Amino acid sequence: MPSVRFEWNPTLVDLRREVCPGARWQKQGRQWIMSETEAKQFLQAAHARLDYQKWQARIRIEDITWVVGFVRDAPFRLPTPDRALRSR
């Protein structure tokens, strides 16, 4: 089950309640646990809503950070550093 994180944003909080009412909050990891389908639906809905409102946000699903909303070429993945470089 994917873990989903995003900075507090009232639009995303409301959207998470609408799109993924069954998601579980994991307090220790400070993340939402939802099915893969719910995570994809949340990402798509977040992009559409934020694009319409001319806002943007970053949503992290597992180890991938997505930029959604009112940004050129959004939604898109941010490049992730090579894991070998992170261990140095």
Domain positions in the chain = 3-86
Residue with the larger pLDDT of the pair 85 and 62: 62
Sheet containing strand 31-33, strands side by side: 24-26, 31-33, 3-6, 56-61, 64-69, 76-77
Q: What pLDDT was estimated at residue 77? A: 96
Nearest one of 19, 13, 2, 12 to 61, comparing CA atoms = 2
pLDDT digits (tens, 9 = 90+) for 27-73: 999 999 999 999 999 999 999 999 999 999 999 999 999 999 999 99
Q: What pLDDT was estimated at residue 80? A: 79
Question: Which ranges of the chain does DSSP label H, i.e. alpha helix?
Answer: 10-19, 36-53, 83-86
End-to-end CA distance of the chain: 29
**Neighbouring residues of 18: CB distance < 8 A, sequence distance ≥ 6:** 45
Residue with the larger pLDDT of the pair 41 and 80: 41
